[in-house]
Amino acid sequence: MTFQWPPIDAEVSAAVTRQLHTAISLYDRSGIIARFEDAFAARHNASYALLTSSGTAALHSAYYALGLGPGDEVIVQDYTFFATATPLLQLGTVPVLADIDIHGELDLERADELLTDRTKAVAITHMWGAPQNTRRLRAWCDARGLALVEDCSHAHGATRDGVSVGELADAACWSLQGHKTITAGEGGILTTPHRGVYEKATLLGHFNKRALAEVRTESPLYRFADTGLGLKYRAHPLGLAMAEVYLRRLDDWLLARQRHAARLEHLLAGRAGIGVLTPTGSDRTATFYAFVFTIDPHAAGFTRDDLLHTIQQCGYGEITTCDSMRPLHTYPVFAAPRSPVTIYKTSCIRCELHVAEHLAATSLRINVPADDGPDGCAYIDTAINMLDRALNTLASPPGGTTLPA
């Protein structure tokens, strides 16, 4: 059994068909655009929401709207998807890469060492849907006069300590891409508590009807409303018809994922050298975009690749590495400050990034179904059985496993 996402059922098909006969392009904030933005903002305790054509477009809009420009610096956690940082390149802003802690969260002590008089913001990512401690992040940023940007692309609906992801940010961004928990096929959305940020982000990627209606007439930016500021980042109504259905299902999906993740966590509990990067807990609701665990080879007696090979030898391919989220400093666009698109005088890489490297090299991921019906339970049953079988095999290998000192 393979993981299938998103679920395309009769309700989703009917919603898309209705939208097809209603409007396939919307210039203003009407119809499904307004409904989705309002519902999404309410779900995440946000004052303003702006749909875009992708999560990357949402991040670009956020960075631009916060006033970032040439020579400015933004602290970005090294362990994230590269699109958290690449929009900064288009603004001439330097993403300064910071290490994470063993929980996959930005290491604030290490980040402190990277601050300069050019640092204007911090960008963090709730990797795999595990919410970071945003109360702590907000206090840290406030004490240093920095804006906080949250990339919530994995974390639709996630909360920690009673706070929604994105709620305390100056701008927060979600992807609505095809594999995401709430998907429009392609798309993104930005939220912010600041009217000025909302208006400036609107002008970057929207023009005419929407900008004329949303930008205050007394704003000095209103004169640009007819044309916008050069880009077109509108979301597609047909994709939003899907996303609107999925948003209504979000809370039920998160409950199901919590239950499935708890079973996986129980399987791994107490096993030497095995750690869970995406834990369940009474203080949080994680989205579980994936369940991620790590293998310490010296404590476990085998490596991540040993375990993966053993699983694959059983003919099972649903447990994989996390290579799509490799550390940013391993990509040429961040490692080479004078590439065709980056002309910085200083490097993005200014410190050792050992924890991010270690996490990327020792982790495996399992998809987590969003339903606890027969198919969802069968998928997790199989994953648990295969993982348990492989772990037991490696616990007593013939002749043992020799690891490097």
Residue 293 and residue 154 share a domain: no
- Each residue's pLDDT tens digit, 64-74: 999 999 989 99
Counting the structural domains of the chain, the total is 2
Q: Please report, in tens digits, the pLDDT of each residue of the chain (405 residues total).
A: 899 999 999 999 999 999 999 999 999 999 999 999 999 999 999 999 999 999 999 999 999 999 999 989 999 999 999 999 999 999 999 999 999 999 999 999 999 999 999 999 999 999 999 999 999 999 999 999 999 999 999 999 999 999 999 999 999 999 999 999 999 999 999 999 999 999 999 999 999 999 999 999 999 999 999 999 999 999 999 999 999 999 999 999 999 999 999 999 999 999 999 999 999 999 999 999 999 999 999 999 999 999 999 999 999 999 999 988 999 999 988 887 655 555 566 678 888 999 999 999 999 999 999 998 999 999 999 999 999 999 999 987 665 444 444
Residue 127 and residue 35 share a domain: yes
| DSSP-based three-state secondary structure for 34 | helix
Residue 56 and residue 127 share a domain: yes
Task: Name the nearest CA neighbour of 108 among 140, 85, 135, 81.
Answer: 140
* 402 part of a folded domain: no
Q: Is 0.85 surpassed by the pTM of this model?
A: yes
Residue 226 and residue 141 share a domain: yes
- Each residue's pLDDT tens digit, 293-306: 999 999 999 999 99
Among 211, 245, 279, residue at a domain's last position: 245
Strand positions, DSSP E, 41-170: 48-52, 73-77, 94-98, 119-125, 147-151, 159-160, 163-164
Please give the residue range of the domain that contains residue 47: 10-245
Residue 214 and residue 67 share a domain: yes
C-alpha 288/C-alpha 156 separation (Å) is 10
Length of the chain: 405
- Each residue's pLDDT tens digit, 127-148: 999 999 999 999 999 999 999 9
Residue 316 and residue 174 share a domain: no
C-alpha 203/C-alpha 276 separation (Å) is 42
Residue 294 and residue 176 share a domain: no
Among 245, 269, 304, residue at a domain's last position: 245
C-alpha 61/C-alpha 203 separation (Å) is 9
Task: Name the nearest CA neighbour of 344 among 95, 55, 15, 100.
Answer: 95
